[in-house]
Amino acid sequence: MTENITISHEIAAVLRDEILRQQFRCGERFPSERDLAVRFNASRGAVREALSQLELLGLIRILPGGTRVQAIDSASIAVLGPLMAMDDMPDPVLVDQFLQTFGALTSLTARTAINRADAKQLILLEEMVVELAQQLSDFEAMQPKWREFLQTMETVADNLVVRLIGNDLKAQFVEQMMKLGVKPEVEKKTLEQLLSSLQQSLANGDGDRAASAMQTHFDEVRLAVSEAMNSELMTPELTNAKPGNSKLANDRAEDLQRETV
Amino acid sequence: MTENITISHEIAAVLRDEILRQQFRCGERFPSERDLAVRFNASRGAVREALSQLELLGLIRILPGGTRVQAIDSASIAVLGPLMAMDDMPDPVLVDQFLQTFGALTSLTARTAINRADAKQLILLEEMVVELAQQLSDFEAMQPKWREFLQTMETVADNLVVRLIGNDLKAQFVEQMMKLGVKPEVEKKTLEQLLSSLQQSLANGDGDRAASAMQTHFDEVRLAVSEAMNSELMTPELTNAKPGNSKLANDRAEDLQRETV
DNA sequence: CCCTCTATTTGGTCTGACCAATTTGGTCTG
DNA sequence: CAGACCAAATTGGTCAGACCAAATAGAGGG
């Protein structure tokens, strides 16, 4: 949010989406800067800024003689958000993959956090878990606490790599899901299990156990989200319910990725 | 590689490093485009392209009235490579975090791959493991096979999110480590264990087991790399053996990240 | 049909200019 | 002296037009 709407950003967004929609074949020539400038009724400078961004996203490759389109597989994570936000209903496959990944990283965070935490931090975390357990029934109220807990764990684990990945992932995904109002219904029993496991892990300083509990929990969430998306999502416009797009994750086995020019 | 050396890229690289080296405090004003143009003896256009990239990296925030520096924590993963490549010896802490993360993702990949693989793919994977086991003693020769194996698993697992993250991570890290010639000495016994676990997992279609084996293995690798870096790395220039820089991952708890302007 | 050599295209960069929004600094007022 | 206020300087956003070097495409010759 607070996005600074700029011509170059707009151009970048449009072109990005076109590429993500596979309107260009990988390796194909991209329109020249001058052409794009005409098309968008903008100056070449603006276009160049846009292309500069697309290049950083790994979507195109700018080189003298002509710009070329790259395979989506070789793009940066930053394209995930747009990829999911493109259609009004994000690809369920992608969402699931997302949750899997997020789960794995959260699991790692939990493990590291518990293994690294000092006595004080352990107590703090434990308190948070207890607090969470008390609000088990109130999903809405629990949400922020849960996030806070995750964030605290992140801080304790203090893994910059995970945090950076988390930034991109969260920024692009969580927001998207929120906007769609997807509320996965996780069974209370499952949550109870998670919290109790966490509590014990914290008590024993058993990071591995916490990791595995977190893992299990995320698998449940994945299931719940999947169901929520399948049912609840027969919302207003289901006009363009393209079943495809999932193929984004499939085809295009190997490409001319490392063609040294 | 095959990088298209451009003024704007150079400028971006220089400024990026300066920001990563904390030469600007978070939130602080960034030099104006015109000033930068003078400093780099370049045109404003070139500078703008550079800034455009830095913005996408999440390092700065361009808005009318002035550009401001952002907290590293809120940057994109793409800064990890530069962050590690800055000093001639990458921060061991960062390397470890990197391996942890990579391990978690690889672990996930293994799990998914085995759970999703069809009969044919299972056989293929198993063959690869067997082949690997036969070359246990030849580290050099094994390396490419190992990579191939991982890549095949990635393909089978078919998780776009992981793949994209992997792109960034590999591109920025593996290369860096290679260049440094860090060769972790993992005990053969450990490798044997991993391979045998993998083999059985493949036979039983037990993804969880494979995941856990992979996890264990990466923990070993982390240890080995850590040792390798501590000893072997008393190479030529140890002039600037700044023990700091690790602090990058520590300080700066919370910042003015969500200041809505 | 292949190779070679131009003419064109394309990216890379610069200069200089104008607008609108923000910042800044000083002035005026209570 | 504090605070509101206004104007000038600064800063980003964008455009137009121009030149260079490298790469491409196409015509022509072998």
Same domain, A25 and A106: no
Would B20 be classed as within a structural domain? yes
Let me know: does B142 contact B135? Beta carbons within 8 Å.
Answer: yes
Cα–Cα distances in Å, from B64 out to B33, B148, B261?
Answer: 12, 49, 11
Same domain, B92 and B165: yes
pLDDT in tens, B184-217: 777 888 889 999 999 999 999 999 999 999 999 9
Asked whether residue A180 carries a pLDDT value surpassing 80, the answer given is: no
Same domain, B107 and B157: yes
pLDDT in tens, B40-91: 999 999 999 999 999 999 999 999 989 999 999 889 989 988 998 888 788 8
pLDDT in tens, A241-252: 344 344 443 343
Would B1 be classed as within a structural domain? no
Whole-number average pLDDT of chain A: 85
Would A37 be classed as within a structural domain? yes
Same domain, A146 and A35: no
Helix axes A92-116, B92-116, angle to 10 degrees: 140
Asked whether residue A258 carries a pLDDT value surpassing 50, the answer given is: no
Would A255 be classed as within a structural domain? no
pLDDT in tens, A192-242: 999 999 999 999 999 999 999 999 999 999 999 888 887 755 554 443 434
Would A45 be classed as within a structural domain? yes
In this structure, the dihedral spanned by the alpha carbons of residues B87, B61, B78 and A92, taken in order and rounded to 10 degrees, is 160
pLDDT of residue B261: 28
What values do phi and psi take at A148, rounded to 5?
-60, -40
Same domain, A104 and A219: yes
**Euclidean distance between CA atoms A160 and A9, whole angstroms:** 28
Domain final residue, candidates A75, A110, A129: A75
User: What are the strands, taking DSSP E only, across chain B?
Assistant: 60-63, 66-69
Would B219 be classed as within a structural domain? yes
Same domain, A88 and A47: no
Asked whether residue A256 carries a pLDDT value surpassing 80, the answer given is: no
Where in the sequence is the domain holding B119, given as residue range(s)? 87-231
Same domain, A33 and A156: no
Stretch B15-36: mean pLDDT:
95
Let me know: does A48 contact A6? Beta carbons within 8 Å.
Answer: no
- Number of structural domains, chain B? 2
CATH number where B20 lies: 1.10.10.10
Burial of B42 (0-12, 13-18, 19+ CB in 10 A): middle
- Nearest Cα residue to A131 out of A152, A162, A103: A152
Whole-number average pLDDT of chain B: 85
**Helix, strand, coil distribution of chain B in percent, nearest 5:** 65, 5, 30
pLDDT range class, residue A88, cuts 50, 70, 90? confident
pLDDT of residue B2: 56
B214 vs B261: which has the higher pLDDT: B214
Same domain, A202 and A102: yes
Same domain, B27 and B125: no
Same domain, A65 and A86: no
**Euclidean distance between CA atoms A188 and B126, whole angstroms:** 40
pLDDT in tens, A101-120: 999 999 999 999 999 999 99
The nucleotide minimizing the C1' distance to residue B47's CA is: C13
Asked whether residue B248 carries a pLDDT value surpassing 60, the answer given is: no
pLDDT of residue B56: 96
pLDDT range class, residue A173, cuts 50, 70, 90? confident
pLDDT of residue A89: 81
The nucleotide minimizing the C1' distance to residue A66's CA is: C10
Nearest-by-Cβ selection for B253 from A8, A58, A155: A155
User: Phi-psi category of B22—alpha, beta or left, where left has phi over 0 and alpha has psi -120 to 50?
Assistant: left
Let me know: does B135 contact B159? Beta carbons within 8 Å.
Answer: no
Would A182 be classed as within a structural domain? yes
CB contact under 8 A, B56 and A78: yes
Q: Is A71 on the interface with B (CB under 8 A)?
A: no
CATH number where B120 lies: 1.20.120.530
pLDDT in tens, B80-119: 889 988 887 888 999 999 999 999 999 999 999 999 999 9
Strand D nucleotides within 7 Å of a protein CB? 10-18, 21-25
Query: Is the CB of residue B29 inside 7 Å of nucleic acid strand C?
Result: yes
pLDDT in tens, A152-172: 999 999 999 999 998 888 877
Would B60 be classed as within a structural domain? yes
pLDDT in tens, A125-154: 999 999 999 888 777 788 889 999 999 999
Same domain, B197 and B69: no
Same domain, A66 and A84: no
Query: What's the Å distance between residue B64 CA and nucleotide C20 C1'?
Result: 9
**Euclidean distance between CA atoms A236 and B2, whole angstroms:** 48
